[in-house]
């Protein structure tokens, strides 16, 4: 793929080796002419098609076909989700994809999470001459504001809860916590219940509860969630998987919904902007993504943008969980500070927790320190190229940016640089995509209101 790794016109100040996936894919497709099709199948029968082109077998760089397809399939897996890949194309490439998911460490990670954990099916790659018919399901989830509701959001460093009465927040609270290192499921249950019970004291009754959290949730069941990484596998299967069903039962089975925090972010943005086709990107302890369709619904897609590759450079930083290079989490979360602070010349102990590193950078930014500004400029440039990449997979018109990394002056710098990238490299996209940062009121209450509005 080396020939197609295009240097960006706008170079991230602290990451000169950055090679945007958006530019590499465009360069590749300019020379590609052989049509192939990919379909991802989910356990509920949903099937998502994605057509593309590859290089002819006679092309001097035809060996790049596998790398292009593998990165593309990785994006599709973590944005759409699926336990089975149908590939209509050359048999040799289908075989290479099968080998990747069964023998390489990064492929095995993806296959295990998608197959065993999320969809509870054996993961496989099928070489097909004809794809199964496309079938998609979307849910008109959210926007229900009647009655007495509780909304909550569970993050890796804090949890938030709000009491919402007919769409108005009458109480909200934010508490610091450290769930990732807790191995006892009962601890998680008690902490979440404590927040819900606190909010309930400010309502005459509780009609419904809606929540958001980092991870993959299907029908209120926990499939994959970094919050519970400290829980042993056996306990995860026996207690955590149905933890929110247990919480719902404790509240006498009133309407209850929990979904991925990225989807609630996008829903909150859609409600605040009164617009659809919204991609939400939350830069916190990880990168959360969510999407509200042009029709205003939430799909069954995963939108786990933390795992999708945005940088094809061979020297791209490695995600500690999946072991893969160039994934979004290392560019659009607190984790990006790990390699940007030394590059900026900011001294910091490697053992310092990420939230403390972020506070240090924010404090320097408040003093207009040029070193901190370069960090935000770097994030913004990378974001601009990533959004162009996302636009190949999402029919988006609005990008909502939030999360602790975007707090203060830094967030404004990130958006300005991202807009500059689109205007310079992707002028057509610049005309149709608008960036938004929620104001402080929306940040405090928008997510809670959107979460509370989930159950009908």
DSSP H/E element including 333:
none
pLDDT of residue 402: 85
Answer whether residue 139 shows pLDDT above 70.
Answer: no
Determine contact, residues 122/37, Cβ cutoff 8 Å.
no
Answer whether residue 441 shows pLDDT above 80.
Answer: no
Answer whether residue 214 shows pLDDT above 90.
Answer: no
**Chain mean pLDDT for the chain:** 93
| Span 314-349, pLDDT tens digits | 999 999 889 999 999 999 999 998 889 999 999 988
Determine contact, residues 415/51, Cβ cutoff 8 Å.
no
Answer whether residue 138 shows pLDDT above 70.
Answer: no
How far does Cα 345 stand from its chain's mean position? Answer: 29
Residue 180, token pair as written in the block: 């990732």
Could you identify the residue written with the tokens 């894919």? 25
Query: Would you call 408 exposed, middle or buried from its count of C-beta atoms within 10 A (0-12, 13-18, 19+)?
Result: middle
DSSP H/E element including 263:
helix 261-273
- Three-state secondary structure along 19-84? CEHHHHHHHHHHHCCEEEEEEEECCCCCEEEEEEEECCCCCCCCCHHHHHHHHHHHHHHHHCCCCE
Answer whether residue 206 shows pLDDT above 90.
Answer: yes
Domains and CATH numbers, the chain: 32-136 (no CATH), 147-260 (3.30.420.40), 264-452 (3.30.420.40)
According to DSSP, residue 4 is labeled G
- Average pLDDT of the residues in 27-49: 95
Residue 182, token pair as written in the block: 């807790």
Determine contact, residues 155/285, Cβ cutoff 8 Å.
yes
pLDDT of residue 44: 86
How far does Cα 236 stand from its chain's mean position? Answer: 22
Determine contact, residues 36/56, Cβ cutoff 8 Å.
no
pLDDT of residue 272: 86
Q: How far apart are CA 329 and CA 425, in angstroms?
A: 23
Backbone angles phi, psi at 389, to 5 degrees: -70, -45
Q: How far apart are CA 99 and CA 49, in angstroms?
A: 22
Answer whether residue 177 shows pLDDT above 70.
Answer: yes
| End-to-end Cα distance, the chain | 49
Q: How far apart are CA 174 and CA 159, in angstroms?
A: 6
pLDDT of residue 444: 62
pLDDT of residue 59: 95
Say which residues have a Cβ less than 8 Å from residue 292's Cβ, sequence separation at least 6: 263, 266, 267, 269, 270, 276, 277, 278, 280, 298
- Average pLDDT of the residues in 199-207: 98
| Span 245-297, pLDDT tens digits | 999 999 999 999 998 888 888 998 898 889 999 999 989 888 989 999 998 88
What are the b/e assignments for 390-407, b being 16+ CB within 10 Å? bbebbebbbbbbbbbbbb
Q: How far apart are CA 145 and CA 448, in angstroms?
A: 11
Q: How far apart are CA 424 and CA 429, in angstroms?
A: 10
Q: How far apart are CA 149 and CA 189, in angstroms?
A: 20
Backbone angles phi, psi at 237, to 5 degrees: -65, -40
Query: Would you call 58 exposed, middle or buried from its count of C-beta atoms within 10 A (0-12, 13-18, 19+)?
Result: exposed
Kindly write down the DSSP assignment for every residue of 355-410, as one continuous string. Answer: HHHHHHHHHHHHTT-HHHHHHHHHHHHHHHHHHHHHTTT---SEEEEESGGG-THH
Kindly write down the DSSP assignment for every residue of 82-103, as one continuous string. Answer: -SEEEEES-HHHHHHHHHHHHH
In the structure, what pLDDT confidence band is assigned to residue 300 with cuts at 50, 70 and 90? confident
Within 10 angstroms of residue 289's Cβ, the number of other Cβ atoms is: 28
Query: Which residue did the predictor score with more confidence, 110 or 350?
Result: 110
């Amino acid at each position: 793929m080396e020939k197609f790794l295009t240097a960006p016109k706008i170079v991230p100040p602290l990451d000169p080796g950055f090679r945007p996936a958006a530019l590499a894919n465009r360069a590749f497709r300019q020379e590609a002419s052989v049509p192939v099709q990919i379909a991802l199948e989910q356990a509920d029968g949903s099937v998502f098609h994605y057509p593309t082109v590859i290089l002819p077998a006679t092309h001097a760089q035809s060996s790049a076909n596998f790398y292009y397809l593998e990165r593309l399939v990785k994006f599709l897996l973590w944005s759409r989700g699926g336990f089975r890949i149908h590939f209509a194309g050359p048999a040799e490439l289908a075989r290479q994809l099968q080998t990747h998911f069964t023998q390489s460490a990064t492929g095995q990670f993806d296959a295990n999470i998608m197959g065993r954990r999320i969809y509870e099916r054996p993961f496989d790659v099928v070489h097909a001459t004809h794809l199964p018919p496309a079938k998609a399901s979307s849910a008109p989830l959210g926007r229900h504001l009647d009655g007495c509701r509780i909304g909550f959001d569970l993050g890796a460093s804090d949890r938030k809860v709000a009491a919402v009465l007919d769409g108005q927040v009458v109480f909200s609270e934010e508490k610091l916590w450290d769930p990732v290192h807790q191995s006892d499921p009962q601890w998680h249950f008690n902490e979440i219940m404590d927040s819900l019970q606190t909010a309930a004291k400010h309502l005459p009754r509780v009609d419904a509860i809606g929540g958001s959290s980092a991870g993959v949730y299907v029908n209120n069941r926990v499939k994959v969630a970094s919050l519970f990484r400290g829980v042993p596998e056996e306990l995860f299967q026996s207690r955590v998987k149905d933890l929110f069903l247990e919480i719902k039962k404790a509240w006498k089975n009133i309407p209850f919904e929990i979904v991925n925090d990225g989807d609630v972010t996008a829903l909150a943005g859609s409600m605040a902007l009164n617009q659809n086709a919204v991609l939400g990107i939350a830069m916190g302890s990880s990168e959360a993504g969510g999407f509200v369709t042009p029709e205003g619904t939430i799909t069954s897609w995963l939108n786990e943008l933390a795992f999708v590759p945005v940088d094809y450079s061979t020297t791209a930083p490695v995600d500690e969980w999946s072991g893969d290079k160039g994934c979004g989490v290392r560019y659009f979360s607190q984790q990006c500070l790990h390699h940007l602070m030394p590059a900026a010349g900011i001294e910091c102990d490697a053992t310092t927790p990420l939230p403390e590193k972020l506070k240090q950078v924010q404090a320097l930014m408040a003093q207009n320190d040029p070193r901190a500004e370069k960090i935000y400029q770097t994030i913004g440039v990378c974001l601009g190229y990533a959004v162009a990449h996302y636009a190949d997979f999402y029919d988006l018109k609005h990008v909502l940016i939030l999360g602790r990394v975007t707090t203060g002056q830094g967030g404004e710098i990130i958006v300005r640089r991202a807009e500059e990238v689109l205007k310079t490299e992707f002028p057509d996209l610049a005309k149709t995509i608008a960036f938004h940062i929620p104001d402080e009121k929306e940040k405090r209450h928008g997510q809670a209101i959107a979460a509370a509005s989930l159950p009908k």
